[in-house]
Structure 1
Amino acid sequence: MQGTQQPTSQTAAYQATDRTVPTRSADRASYDKEVVHAILDEAYVGHLGFVRDGAPVVLPTLYGRVGERLYIHGSTGSRPLRMTGQADPGLPVCLTVTHVDALVLARSAFHHSINYRSVVVHGVAYDVTDPEEKETALHALVDHIVDGRSRDYRGANKKELAATAVIRLDLNEVSAKMRTGGVNDEPEDLELPHWAGLVPLRKGYEAPVADALLAPGTELPDYLKTL
């Protein structure tokens, strides 16, 4: 993909900080970059948190990753993107992503849980104004939804670009946290007559449904056939 060159790092892990070390179950935390990237790349929706007028705000948002940088887009009138453009030297934010992999049903109420994979990113978000970087970001956002889609659409025109804002968030202060495995019941509860175990969750895709006004002769692209 052509575009503004993104920052890279030769290290295989993010450095732990006071904000990225969990106060509970710290053994579940990971700072491995491959683990973090995999969790981010598999998800579609992140939750972006920031402070507005002294109160916390958390909004669901789409995002895309290019190397060690996340891009988030929206309308130029949206609250966080408008604030990012006004902030100097940027807008302090926190972005979170979570996958739920299984429901953990225990014999006791206390030990009910979920198996999950999550990422928390702390940092400062900046408005993207460079046209080349903005184009790279928009391609990444579309390819994050369906890999290969950026080669199969009409690009944004000047009016659409003017109405679209993009912010970037570098992956510097980052951690992943995961729970895997089965039920952790107390030994004295193992003989209780209550069902215990995992209910796995699975993500899947159904067959694509063509738009009713699709141009005649337009075939289903390969990247959707293999989704």
Structure 2
Amino acid sequence: MATPKSHLVPSRSAKRANYEPETIHSILDEALYCTISYSYENKPFSIPTAFVRYEDKIYIHGSVGSHFIRELEKGIPVCITVTLMDALVVAKSAFNHSVNYRSVVIFAQAEKVESVEDKIEAFKWLTDKIVPGSWDYLRPIKENEVRKTTALAFKIDEASAKIRSGMPVDDEEDEALPIWSGLIPLQNGRMAPLPDKFSEHMPLPAHLVGSL
């Protein structure tokens, strides 16, 4: 593997960094949202948005009238971050508390998806990531909806993952203290769907039943 660029190397706990595409892709595929940070008129902006990875790019979408989208489609530099929290790490001292997590940082520039066919593909990938199996079930997307929506792609060339796992690491002199230490696992899963008033008497479609 080539030596990573300096801005991809964490300033602390560099041993937790991982630059393997398989690791980076697995974290991106599990996360539903990312945060895109950029500078506009010397002011910082940081916007959370849904995204999907397909091959070596991630895709987002937004209204053609969105100031956020219009800025990004100019190809300005952005920093994209994703974090999955797995557990609270409870040590015998507050100083040694930590978190088990998996994160990704990407430095990139947006590429506007121009063709209607490619835009629809990107919308399909995103829709089926957020609600798996739903694209073919839903009312087909309309031409004017495609025109009103911009799709942007970002290459995952400059990216790094950082991962913390395992139990707390206490100071040696604290290990015998009668203070509980360990992990508090965190769970972020899909719960049972709740129908709106138009669907309360309808059975769940197969793709939603399968998500339970």
Give the TM interval when normalised to the shorter protein.
Answer: over 0.9
- The question of 1:78 aligning with 2:62 is answered no
- 1:222 aligns with 206
- 2:4 aligns with 16
CA contact under 8 A between 1:92 and 1:123: conserved in structure 2? yes
- The question of 1:116 aligning with 2:101 is answered yes
Matches within 5 A, 1:12-161: 16-85=4-73, 87=74, 90-161=75-146
CA contact under 8 A between 1:46 and 1:63: conserved in structure 2? yes
TM-score, reference length from structure 2: 0.92
Name stretches of at least 5 consecutive residues in structure 1 with no aligned partner. 1-12
**Structure 2 vs 1, CA of residues 155 and 39 (structure 1 numbering), >3 Å: closer, same or farther?**
same
CA contact under 8 A between 1:15 and 1:31: conserved in structure 2? no
Distance 2:87 2:148 in 1: 40
1:14, distance to aligned residue in structure 2 (A):
8.0
- 1:9 aligns with none
Give the share of equivalent positions with the same residue, in percent. 41
Partner of residue 190 from structure 1, selected from 175, 182, 187: 175
SS of residue paired to 2:4? coil
CA contact under 8 A between 2:120 and 2:146: conserved in structure 1? no
Name stretches of at least 5 consecutive residues in structure 2 with no aligned partner. none
Distance 2:205 2:174 in 1: 54
- Give deviations 1:122-155, integer Å, cap 9, x for gaps: 1111222221111111111101102211111123
Distance 2:118 2:2 in 1: 24
> Paired residues, what number?
211
